[in-house]
Copies of this chain bind each other. A is one copy, B any other.
Amino acid sequence: MADKVTIADVARHAKVSRQTVSNVLNSPEVVREETRLRVQEAVQALGYRVSQAARQMRTGRSMLIASRIEPAQDDGINGFVFDRYLHGLTESAARAGYRVLLYTADDHDAELATFDDLLGVHEPDAFVLTSTDYGDPRTTRLLELGIPFVTFGRPWGVPPERRYPWVDVDGAAGTALATRYLLDAGHRRIGFLGWPGGSGVGDDRRAGWARALADAGAGPAEIAELDHRTDDGVPQGEAAAHALIDAGRPATALVCVSDSLALGALQAGRRIPVIGFDDTPVARAVGLTSVRQPITEVAASCVSILVRLLDGDARGRGAAGREREQNVGGRQDAGSGGSASPLREAPPEQVLHQPTLVRRQSA
């Protein structure tokens, strides 16, 4: 049908120069209103769309945000959260004029290689990283390359001088919420089914439970007694629940680090209250009360951080901008007059979202 309408067609139709059309598109405020309207009308009439490929050649910006899609795990429960994240990311990105480009990688090394490939070929403007862990090589690499990125997940164990922007959910606040809920219901001996120490996320969630218990007057010894650690999984949850419930001084309620463990605890058969984490379909299916992460908001924060980074960053990696500045501590001209504005060392943005408790029959 419409045979690829170019900017020249629009210019002809609106009786202006190509440059003016470009201006209307990129910096509308510089064009007189009358002209601008005429051009916009022509754009509408002709159904003009900027060719991303051509634009990218000039500006070096692809309007692409790359994100890894993780394989659905065997426990799969995490997959649900990830799915919501990806959907939210795609939606928020679209609102800001960006699209999400997917890639896979089996491990960190493969992902580093994919970075090179992607950056060479499709040249995404930014990355969103998920499942960051201790000493994650990916952030270091992107920092070196000067490619804007955010992580969904805090930089566990990263030294303060090597900071980067991140978005996360306050897991400790979530378990604290759950614990306080049980405390309010009259429980005192509230056990915690958690993962083995060493996982940032798991330790964080345990800390929230421990804090709430301590706030309620529990001593360190009692807390240690109620703290059970095991690998993730339903059978593991069942076994762990038995251990805590059948103890000399049994737990009367349980907070769990995941819905998998919580489901196992539920299957242990005792009728004590159980609260899970992530509000997965499983939870909904079996009526499990669970802590819900505001994933859509997380995704939106990721995008808005990236957009701010990309807009404040006029360089344009591809064509013109030869020099590549570091992302952190980049210049930020505040629009002051002629003289150079003083450099401002803006700290990377960090957003911590608060989870909520979804109450169902299990507690």
Q: Determine, out of A117-125, A160-168, A173-181, A191-199, the stretch whose residues face the partner at the interface.
A: A117-125
Please, which residues of chain B bring their CB within 8 A of the CB of A260? 285
**Is A133 an interface residue when CB atoms closer than 8 A count as contact?**
no
Please, which residues of chain B bring their CB within 8 A of the CB of A120? 47-51
A123 to B122, CA, bound (A): 13
**Is A84 an interface residue when CB atoms closer than 8 A count as contact?**
yes
**Is A297 an interface residue when CB atoms closer than 8 A count as contact?**
no
Please, which residues of chain B bring their CB within 8 A of the CB of A123? 51-53
**Is A332 an interface residue when CB atoms closer than 8 A count as contact?**
no
By the criterion CB–CB under 8 Å, are A70 and B87 in contact?
yes
How many copies of this chain does the complex contain? 2
By the criterion CB–CB under 8 Å, are B86 and A69 in contact?
yes
User: Restricting to A220-257, which residues have a CB under 8 Å from any CB of B?
Assistant: 234
Q: Determine, out of A13-21, A98-106, A345-353, the stretch whose residues face the partner at the interface.
A: A98-106
The interface centre, meaning the residue of A47, A57, A123, A284 with most chain B CB atoms within 10 A of its CB, is: A284
Q: Mark A68-95, 1 if CB is under 8 A from B, else 0.
A: 0111101111011011101100110010
- The answer, among B83, B99, B100, B103, for a CB contact under 8 Å with A72, is B83
**How near does chain B come to A271, taking the closest CB pair, in angstroms?**
15
By the criterion CB–CB under 8 Å, are B51 and A234 in contact?
no
Please, which residues of chain B bring their CB within 8 A of the CB of A47? 116, 120
By the criterion CB–CB under 8 Å, are B117 and A49 in contact?
yes
